[in-house]
Chains A and B, each alone.
Chain A
Amino acid sequence: MKDGHYIKLTAVYFFAGLVMVYASYSLPKWLPGDFVTAMYYGSNVTLTAEQEAQIRACYPCQEGFSRYLLNLLSLKWGYSYAFLTPVSDLILEALPWTLLLFGGAHGASMLFGFIAGVEAAWRRGGWVEKAGVGCMTIMEGVPEMCTGVALLMLFALWLGWFPSSGAETAYSIYSAIERIWDMTHHLALPFTTLFLAYLPGNFLLTRGSMVMVLKEQFVQTARAKGLPPSRVRYAHAARNALLPMFTRFGLRIAFMVTGAVVVETIFSYPGMGTLLYKAIGLRDLSLIQGIVLISSLMVLFVNLAMEILYGIIDPRIRNAYKLPA
């Protein structure tokens, strides 16, 4: 039964992925005109109807969906007319930076938010907890666009402690350690922005669910057994507060991607977000299409991985699909 559940999950996500690919295949076809009109629209060449028909016959533009799918799998994602480079090259170049920034900020904010939330719930009613909840509620209200601009003004422009753009110092010859330091230095501001944006949500959610868990009887039992408080907190109680955070992650990741795009743009970080921003500015449709498709397929993949993770984290879910013997 359990394996059947995972197969079903994978099938649902596979279907969702196909829907995305099909949307990206068919949406541009609704646009008025075709590539011939697009290529010759602004040029000095005026085509007669006969010539237009000839060019159309030369380029069979109506490729089928199966062909499109095959091209997708073999990294033929089209050609960017603004950058005069294959779309796949541009995306693969930008992807590692985004993974570093987005993944790092997510991991850090989940870890810190979780620990802080657990500790706050444990110290419920104290002034530390009240101040923490107050600060986090205020921070929850500030969008990353605003945090980003504020950090940029303060630390890059006014104090000059951190570089305002890029991911590395250009044309520099560094040893490996210097290079890592340089990358960290560039990463600091965008990373902090995203970290501050994601932290409050994780904190408030963990605290809320942890307060509920602490009322359960098994926590009292664990305490009565004389276990050290940290063990009661983490091994017994906190495990139960873990699931809501993962569920929320899955629900919100798509909206977070938009925020990350804005933050990357503010700091000119050479990731997918900045690439998307440039592509939109230049109206480079094939590049926009490629970025949107690839990133949404990745979001789907992450969501699937999360769903499988739930089962590992929370035995209640894993066992829910088992038939009683």
Chain B
Amino acid sequence: MHISFRHELGRDPWFITGIGLGLVLLLLAGLGPVFSPYDPHDISFRPLSPPSADHWLGVNDGGMDIFSELLFGMRNTAGFGILAGFTALFLGVAVGLAAAWFGGFTDQIAMRLADVVLAVPSVMILIMAASLFRPSPVMLAVILSIISWPTTAKAIRSQALVVKNRLHIHAARQAGASGIYILARHLLPELFPLYLIGFAAKARMAMFMEASLAFLGLLDPARKSLGIIISFALKYYYMDIWWNWLLPPVILLSLLTMTVTFLVISLEKVFDPRLKEAL
């Protein structure tokens, strides 16, 4: 079953583009400190100097090398997305599987909780909390995942309910397998495609949120982020800096979210049985 999926994914142009772009961006983000020619916090260069052989993308108003800033900014933005994506996925899988497996009261509580979290405009609480307490980015990523787990949990739960009633699960039960064993050995691996979709969708949302919050000035301005670079560059947009200072972070942020979007769309296409016919 999985082999045919892999084959199908391998033929999907969106998936190939997404994976290719994703690998390049991950490499850039991961090896950013190695590639970057200067320390992004070094303010010893001539402010607003145009691109040159020494500074590929010029220097910003604070005298920092823009290319180095960009590499570190992307690293932070992508890292934030990956962290928030993983935590949200973990929460969603834990709640969704527990709700589906135990059913009854646990299910009721979990799903009502999910409804409440979905109904309350929690991003607003996030903005309020961020402006009052100035949490660290890691803390913020965790808060964001606490806000965004319900959709994953619901998807996992509904699919787990289907798998739960399949014959091999019944057989495993008859053979005397414990609940934990079935959850870990059967349900958890069989829902794998849903994890990919859930993770990518949450990571995309988180990167977007990180860039927006940084742009709005809710994150530490000393921490490099694509949103912060855009926000600072926008103050000087009327000067002749737009192509070396404003455009690169905009393109990089677009590529980042675009990559994840392609992956989400192609994964959904291949793995969602309902959408399968539609696309």
Residues of A that sit less than 8 Å from B by CB:
12-13, 16, 19-20, 23-24, 27-28, 30-31, 137-138, 140-143, 145-146, 149-150, 152-153, 157, 204, 207-209, 211-212, 215, 251, 253-255, 257-259, 261-262, 265-266, 276-277, 280-281, 283, 285, 288-289, 292-293, 295-296, 299-300, 303
From A157, A280, A300, residue with most partner B Cβ within 10 Å: A280
Determine how close the nearest CB of chain B comes to the CB of A114; give it in whole angstroms: 16
Given known contacts A145-B230, A153-B242, is B217 in contact with A255 (CB within 8 Å)?
Answer: no
A-B contact pairs, 17 of them (CB 8 A): A20-B120, A20-B124, A24-B128, A27-B129, A141-B257, A141-B261, A142-B257, A149-B230, A150-B250, A153-B247, A212-B277, A251-B118, A281-B217, A288-B127, A288-B132, A292-B124, A300-B121
Binding site for A on B (CB under 8 A): 14, 115-116, 118-125, 127-129, 131-133, 151, 205, 208-209, 211-213, 215-218, 227, 230, 234, 237-238, 242, 246-247, 250-251, 253-254, 257-262, 265, 274-275, 277-279
Instruction: Point out the residues of chain B lying under 8 angstroms from A211, CB to CB.
Output: 277-279
Are B123 and A257 closer than 8 Å at their CB atoms? yes
How far is the CB of A323 from the nearest CB of chain B, in Å?
Answer: 21
Given contacts A146-B250, A212-B277, A280-B218, contact A152 B128 (CB under 8 A): no
Q: Is the CB of A254 within 8 A of B242?
A: no
Chain B residues, CB < 8 A from A140:
261, 265
B121 touches A296 (CB 8 A): yes
Question: Which A residues are CB-close (under 8 A) to B251?
Answer: 146
Q: Are B212 and A261 neighbours in the complex by a CB distance under 8 Å?
A: yes
Q: Report the bound CA distance from A258 to B148 in whole Å.
A: 15
Contact in complex: A145, B227 (CB < 8 Å): yes
Q: How far is A281 from B217 in the complex, measured between Cα atoms in Å?
A: 7
Q: Inside 8 A of B253's CB, which chain A residues have their CB?
A: 143, 145-146
Most B CB contacts (10 A, CB to CB) among A20, A137, A141, A215 go to A141
Check A292 against B133 for contact (C-beta < 8 Å): no
Which residues of the partner chain B approach A19 to less than 8 Å between Cβ atoms? Answer: 120
Q: At the interface, is chain B mostly helix, strand, loop or mixed?
A: helix
Please measure, in the bound complex, the distance between the C-alpha atom of A27 and the C-alpha atom of B143, giving whole angstroms: 15
Residues from chain A with a CB closer than 8 A to the CB of B133 are 30-31
The 6 closest A-B pairs by CB, nearest first: A141-B258, A141-B261, A296-B124, A254-B121, A299-B121, A296-B121
Question: Which chain A positions have C-beta within 8 A of B120?
Answer: 16, 19-20, 296, 300
Q: Are B254 and A257 in contact (CB under 8 A)?
A: no
Asked if B123 contacts A300 (CB within 8 A), the reply is no
- Chain A residue nearest to B227 in the complex (CB): A145
Contact yes or no, B218 A255, CB < 8 A: no
CA distance A186 to B123 in the complex (A): 28
- Interface-centre pick from B218, B251, B278 (highest chain A CB count, 10 A): B278
- C-alpha spacing A16/B223, complex, angstroms: 35
